[in-house]
Homo-oligomer: A and B are copies of this chain.
Amino acid sequence: MDKHVQGTPPRVVIVGGGFGGLETAKRLKRSGVQVTLVDKRNYHLFQPLLYQVATGGLSPANIATPLRSILRRQKNCQVIMAEVVDFDVAQQKLYLADGQIDYDFLIVSAGATHSYFGNDAWEPMAPGLKTLQDATEIRRRIYSAFEAAERELDPARREALMTFVVVGGGPTGVELAGALAEIAGHTLKHDFRQINPQDAKILLVEAAEHVLAHYPAELCSRAEAKIRSLGIQVLTQTKVTDVRPEQVHLSGPTGESVIATQNVVWAAGVRGNPLGQKLAQTCQVELDRAGRVPVSASLRVEGQENVFVIGDLANCPGPNGRPLPGLAPVAIQQGRYVANAIASQIAGKAVSEPFSYYDRGSMATIGRAAAVAQIGKRQFCGLLAWIMWLTIHLMLIVQFQNRVLILMQWAWNYITFNRSARLIIEDRTPKTSG
């Protein structure tokens, strides 16, 4: 704080405009600080619905809102679209790809990326789902596979084109597999002449004993039954041992197997944004195994009074001793906490209470009109859970407009089994990109 010039408002710099960063910025509205939100993208992404873009149910703009638009009325906040490349906590600076910023308080909420557990070479064959580009790329691959299958004369190659392997049985994997089953079974039903899209094989591969393993055992098995009823093959206790251009190698309870497939989606693991490494270096702390920055009960990095890490990038111990999961509600509550902590610190008040996460429950959809939900000690499954899921997700979406449009799009998709955004859009050719 020694660099802070008396008389000017303290400078709070937030890295990342996800759920945590955005909440922090908003909560600092009336705290007398100058907020700078830095993000390499110009929008806030509603990540829980990213799988809907990847499967053609929603358009990118339905789940992405310009950060400037959200914060336009907050005069003490400026948004900078820039890439952060490093930090220097001794100098209270962060370095951008093309500049630098001084701070009095730093909040790093740079999120997570997918992890291939040391097998980064798999990425081109098995893209993960973290960004809008990932989503439109997966969408392109899914619909291109059906197009290619329609023209393929060799039955084995045709089968490989119509085999979809989703790696990872967490909420994202389950949601993707469910959406794929709906595409194959309903959306594309009448669209092809040479193939029957219902012949598509969808495999959901999970290393643990159950899919949705974070849910109570009973809910898990009901979810699994529902997933199987959609025609999805669920392979639990099964590990991916290799991914090659047209093959996935599996190792499961019945031994080794090789699946011929052209379509693999990776929903298996996440690791902290590489910026965590830079922050850990300057703070002289160690990252955890998932690449997250360990934080204290007040969400500060060890030894730093004015550096906070929140959201998916933070390793923040939960009540059971395990790190809190990478969920939007965790990040939002942490953002709120940090905004209050900064306001208290400026006001010279006593050290605030430690952060504690209030778990309102969690839920995941399984295809059409089915979901599982855990709210406190109560468990829900099926249509009721799905309606709850729909309601809560609509409520959470930042902008009113998107909420209405998404509801209409969903209503339409639900009635017609349609997915209107199933566009195959290639990147522009280098010739025309400036």
Binding site for B on A (CB under 8 A): 41-43, 59-62, 64-66, 68-69, 72-73, 78-82, 98-99, 123-125, 127, 132-134, 136-137, 141, 143-144, 147, 150-151, 188, 190-194, 399, 401-402, 404-405, 408-409, 412, 416, 418, 420-428, 431-434
Return 22 A-B CB contacts under 8 Å, by A number.
A42-B147, A42-B422, A42-B424, A43-B423, A59-B59, A59-B60, A60-B421, A61-B423, A66-B423, A68-B191, A72-B191, A73-B190, A81-B151, A81-B424, A132-B425, A133-B425, A134-B432, A136-B425, A401-B409, A402-B420, A427-B427, A427-B428
Query: Is the CB–CB distance between A151 and B80 below 8 Å?
Result: yes
Query: Is the CB–CB distance between B405 and A409 below 8 Å?
Result: yes
Chain B residue numbers with a CB within 8 Å of A73 are 190
Min CB–CB distance A375 → chain B (angstroms):
32
Query: Is the CB–CB distance between B99 and A151 below 8 Å?
Result: yes
Query: Is the CB–CB distance between A425 and B190 below 8 Å?
Result: no
Query: Is the CB–CB distance between A432 and B123 below 8 Å?
Result: yes
Query: Is the CB–CB distance between A143 and B42 below 8 Å?
Result: yes
Min CB–CB distance A66 → chain B (angstroms):
6
Query: Is the CB–CB distance between B405 and A401 below 8 Å?
Result: no
Query: Is the CB–CB distance between A192 and B423 below 8 Å?
Result: no
Min CB–CB distance A70 → chain B (angstroms):
10
Q: Which of A59, A72, A404, A431 has the most CB of B within 10 A?
A: A59
Chain B residue numbers with a CB within 8 Å of A428 are 133-134, 137, 427
Chain B residue numbers with a CB within 8 Å of A68 are 188, 191-192
Chain B residue numbers with a CB within 8 Å of A412 are 401
**A67 nearest CB neighbor, chain B only:** B191
Query: Is the CB–CB distance between A127 and B432 below 8 Å?
Result: yes
Chain B residue numbers with a CB within 8 Å of A133 are 425-428, 432
Interchain residue pairs A-B with the least CB separation, the first 7: A61-B421, A68-B191, A59-B59, A72-B190, A427-B427, A81-B147, A78-B193
Cα-based distance from A223 to B150 in the complex (angstroms) = 49
**A412 nearest CB neighbor, chain B only:** B401
Min CB–CB distance A154 → chain B (angstroms):
13
